[in-house]
Amino acid sequence: AQRVTQPEKLLSVFKGAPVELKCNYSYSGSPELFWYVQYSRQRLQLLLRHISRESIKGFTADLNKGETSFHLKKPFAQEEDSAMYYCALSGSSGGSNYKLTFGKGTLLTVNP
Amino acid sequence: NAGVMQNPRHLVRRRGQEARLRCSPMKGHSHVYWYRQLPEEGLKFMVYLQKENIIDESGMPKERFSAEFPKEGPSILRIQQVVRGDSAAYFCASSQGQGSNTGELFFGEGSRLTVL
């Protein structure tokens, strides 16, 4: 069974501080991992995916298969980063990569 | 491009009534997905449709729930004889291909169903 765990429901940091949103997963195969973000009054949108190894808005995430983690990091948080962040997983086999399993989300607040 | 459009944004129903939620995919997208988010939970996959076809409904409850994506018009998620446990946010997403290998789905703003 696929499972995504985001242990922190709420995370609050000050502007300029480093931020790490944790995500652990459980999957028997080779997963694809994603971070989605939902800003206030906006729709859920893809932030980044592990296979592209890119940095978006200063955020990076590394897939650690040994620890089954995909933590989202940013060295210097900005107020506009305040949002709800969801970690998601899809199975990469059998063509069912539309079937995303989401974590419960972490609400990040960046204080001035 | 207006993105994925869902309506209504909010719907209130009494127990036993029917709820119909609509979703128009992004222009050029022919694949539609419905997800449900119960309170305090993550989004959960319900069903995947292409025009006039249900491709995967493995996440749909066996009773009272149905979905369609007709040749013309929006996709519709229908819940018959609603119960309080159906209260949730229902999200629609669309993609150009089958979820693509990048898994990028474009989501709507969701429809929030409240059952009294």
Report the alpha-carbon distance of residue B23 to residue B9 in Å, rounded. 11
Report the alpha-carbon distance of residue A14 to residue A72 in Å, rounded. 17
Give the residue from A42, A43, A63, A85 with the most B CB atoms within 10 Å of its CB, the best one to mutate. A43
Degrees to nearest 5, angle at CA B10 with B84 and A81:
105
pLDDT of residue A96: 56
Type of residue numbered A83: A
The predicted-structure confidence for B50-60, as pLDDT tens digits, reads as follows: 988 999 999 99
pLDDT of residue B32: 93
Confidence category of residue B94, pLDDT binned at 50, 70, 90: very high
Cβ-nearest to A32 among B40, B95, B103: B103
B26: which DSSP letter?
Answer: P
Q: Is the bond leading into B8 cis (omega within 30 degrees of zero)?
A: yes
Please say if the pLDDT value at position B102 is more than 50: no
Q: Which of residues A97 and A15 earns the better pLDDT score?
A: A15
pLDDT of residue A2: 84
Instruction: For residue A86, give the chain B residue with the closest CA.
Output: B42
- A45–B105 C-beta distance less than 8 A: no
- A101–B102 C-beta distance less than 8 A: no
Q: For residues B58, B110, B50 and B54, what is the CA-based torsion angle, rounded to 10 degrees?
A: 30
Confidence category of residue B100, pLDDT binned at 50, 70, 90: low
Please say if the pLDDT value at position B12 is more than 60: yes
Q: What is the mean pLDDT of chain B?
A: 91
Q: How many interchain CB pairs under 8 A, A with B? A: 74
Report the alpha-carbon distance of residue B74 to residue B23 in Å, rounded. 5
